[in-house]
């Protein structure tokens, strides 16, 4: 338990450290408006004139991975090194005209042998899981239902069927008469062990006898060592030499279900799926030499990661490979981008005023991951209502705010209207707003597009964020973290985002002036209001996934230790 006097040790620095001297601007030298906007921003914010570069880039929203490495990463690294800037630059600003996305890699030639092996292993594991499903159907003595033979079973469908049959079997066990409980328990225990591994059996063990408790404690201690070693092995998959040992330990410790899930992850990794990314999110790892391209890398700048000792030790980058904050000055037109810059500078002088609109959906926190996120929106509303004098409008019903319902809007966060902006708002100058959905920054320039990022910038928002492709909910900042930190008035927009964004090398992009501080003139919260003092481990687990097994399975996708 941490005492209240130590709360400032939990949060980012108590002042905004990002300055114009620590910014580097990147524009597309083949797009005149890109060059002009870069020059305009450098002049308006006092960024040193030498801290910008025009790159030879296509005039397109997407470039290939090879083009990113050759045309963005390599020349940018070389320029910064020639200017002796690697240790000085903390934030890179990409400007209108710089591509928005990086395409996926596909299967690399070197990965084809490993992919063939994984596909064979997956077929065997799925067939074993199908046999387990048949055994679960008949565990209570009833004959299993007849089923059509399937030449090539679909792993997700088999996993779903297994979970359903397991739940049904456990429900039958709970409802069985006392006279049958012991018999049915003996029948189902080995089936659960095959499906869930010894960890599930050990976790369910109880004893009133001291010797029994001692034995159980010893088994659980052994299980913790098993998890630690397995985590090290999983981090090397699917290309590591210990793949066979990894799969054996997964099957024994966590069962067929975990093995099939893991093999599916390996398959997707080796096929090069989910290796696309927002260019800005990838650029955050400019100095990282090697890291997995499949899915994401945990963001070590996230405050929850930095202040959890175990996570900080695991994800802090090695010397010389810092994570760089990245922010984008981009929008539907060059005129709108110029307006975003002007609005940020003008509003800082007087402070951002207006109402806060929060659009939750009424999902119970315990219902799902969606419920946890919905609850965070309600927590944000509660924080602002109890700790500030800001007018807060919370909608906790499934329907979204509708036309004309949100005048005088300064801040907004809500969900879920996929790729279909709802014109409910009258945005105040300098407003900061974002919508939680899967594709709201797919395009910023298509005149007909109704993506929320594009349309909010059309209508006057100064800063927003969103994904360039399917991001998974966990990749969004927590609204209470993001807006809470913004309202302290102590951090720039870039610092707020990178202190609260969970991952890099993924889909999210931040749009706006990275130096924007809308509440610097009139702070509405203190850091102590935003960040909990009762310890970080539970909050960190909530942010990154509470399941130990999920943590193990994601260690490789999150990056090597």
- Mean pLDDT calculated for residue range 489-506: 96
For 239, phi and psi rounded to 5 degrees?
-100, -5
Q: In this predicted model, what pLDDT tens digit does every residue of 68-98 receive, in sequence order?
A: 999 999 999 999 999 999 999 999 999 999 9
User: How far is C-alpha 328 from the chain's CA centre?
Assistant: 19
DSSP structure class, residue 392 = E
- Mean pLDDT calculated for residue range 485-489: 96
Q: In this predicted model, what pLDDT tens digit does every residue of 261-295 receive, in sequence order?
A: 989 988 888 888 899 999 999 999 999 988 889 89
The pLDDT assigned to 507 comes to 97
* Segment holding 297, helix H or strand E: strand 297-298
* Segment holding 431, helix H or strand E: strand 425-435
* Segment holding 482, helix H or strand E: helix 479-487
The pLDDT assigned to 369 comes to 79
Mean pLDDT of the chain: 86
Q: In this predicted model, what pLDDT tens digit does every residue of 137-162 receive, in sequence order?
A: 877 666 655 555 555 789 999 999 99
Q: In this predicted model, what pLDDT tens digit does every residue of 33-66 receive, in sequence order?
A: 999 999 999 999 999 999 999 999 999 999 999 9
pLDDT category, 5, cuts 50, 70, 90?
very low
Residue that wins the pLDDT comparison between 543 and 375: 375
Is the pLDDT score of 11 beyond 80? no
Task: Tell me the Ramachandran region of residue 400: left when phi exceeds 0, alpha when psi lies from -120 to 50, beta otherwise.
Answer: beta
The pLDDT assigned to 184 comes to 80
Task: Enumerate the β-bridge partners of residue 22.
Answer: none
CA angle at residue 168 from 163 to 173, to 5 degrees? 125
The pLDDT assigned to 386 comes to 96
- Whether 466 and 268 have beta carbons less than 8 Å apart is answered as no
- Mean pLDDT calculated for residue range 542-559: 35
């Amino acid at each position: 338990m941490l005492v209240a006097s130590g709360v400032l040790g939990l949060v980012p620095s108590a002042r905004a450290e990002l300055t114009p001297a620590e910014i580097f601007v990147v524009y597309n030298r083949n797009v005149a408006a890109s060059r002009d906007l870069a020059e305009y921003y450098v002049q308006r914010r006092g960024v040193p004139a030498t801290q910008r570069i025009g790159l030879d880039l296509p005039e397109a929203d997407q470039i290939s991975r090879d083009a990113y490495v050759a045309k963005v990463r390599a020349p940018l690294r070389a320029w910064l090194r020639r200017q002796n800037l690697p240790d000085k630059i903390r934030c890179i600003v990409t400007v209108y005209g710089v591509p928005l996305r990086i395409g996926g890699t596909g299967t690399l030639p070197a990965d084809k042998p490993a992919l063939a092996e994984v596909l064979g292993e997956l077929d065997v594991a799925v067939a074993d899981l199908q046999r387990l499903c048949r055994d679960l159907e008949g565990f209570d003595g009833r004959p299993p239902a007849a089923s059509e033979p399937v030449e090539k079973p679909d792993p997700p469908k088999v996993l779903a069927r297994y979970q359903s049959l397991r739940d049904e079997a456990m429900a039958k066990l709970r409802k069985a008469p006392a006279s049958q409980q012991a018999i049915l328990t003996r029948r189902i225990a080995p089936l659960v062990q095959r499906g869930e591994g010894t960890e599930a059996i050990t976790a369910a063990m109880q004893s009133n006898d001291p010797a029994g408790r001692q034995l159980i404690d010893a088994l659980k201690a052994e299980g913790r060592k098993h998890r630690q070693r397995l985590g090290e092995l999983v981090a090397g998959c699917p290309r590591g030499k210990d793949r066979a040992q990894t799969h054996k330990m997964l099957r024994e410790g966590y069962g067929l279900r975990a093995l099939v899930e893991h093999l599916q992850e390996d398959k997707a990794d080796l096929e090069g799926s989910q290796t696309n990314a927002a260019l800005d999110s990838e650029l955050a790892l400019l100095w990282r030499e090697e890291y997995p391209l499949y899915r994401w890398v945990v963001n070590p700048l996230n405050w929850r990661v930095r202040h959890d000792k175990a996570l900080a030790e695991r994800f802090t980058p090695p010397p010389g490979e810092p994570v760089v904050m990245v922010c984008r000055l981009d929008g539907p037109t060059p005129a709108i981008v110029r307006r975003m810059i002007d609005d940020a500078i003008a509003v800082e002088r007087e402070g951002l005023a207006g109402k806060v609109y929060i659009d939750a959906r009424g999902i119970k926190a315990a219902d799902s991951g969606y419920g946890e996120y919905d609850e965070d929106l309600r927590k944000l509303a509660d924080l602002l209502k109890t700790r500030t004098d800001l007018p807060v409008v919370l909608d906790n019903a499934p329907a979204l705010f509708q036309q004309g319902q949100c005048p005088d809007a300064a801040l907004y966060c809500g969900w879920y209207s996929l790729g279909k902006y709802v014109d409910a708002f009258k945005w105040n100058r300098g407003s900061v707003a974002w919508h939680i959905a899967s594709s709201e920054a797919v395009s910023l320039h298509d005149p007909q597009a109704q993506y929320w990022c594009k349309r909010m910038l059309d209508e006057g928002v100064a800063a927003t964020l969103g994904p360039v492709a399917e991001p998974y909910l966990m990749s969004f900042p927590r609204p209470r973290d993001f807006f809470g930190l913004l309202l302290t008035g102590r951090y720039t927009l870039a610092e707020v985002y990178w202190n609260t964004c969970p991952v890099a090398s993924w889909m999210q992009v931040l749009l706006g002036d990275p130096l924007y501080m809308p509440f610097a003139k009139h702070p509405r919260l203190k850091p102590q209001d935003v960040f909990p003092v009762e310890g970080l481990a539970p909050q960190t687990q909530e942010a990154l996934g509470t399941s130990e097994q999920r943590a193990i399975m994601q260690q490789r996708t999150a990056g090597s230790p």
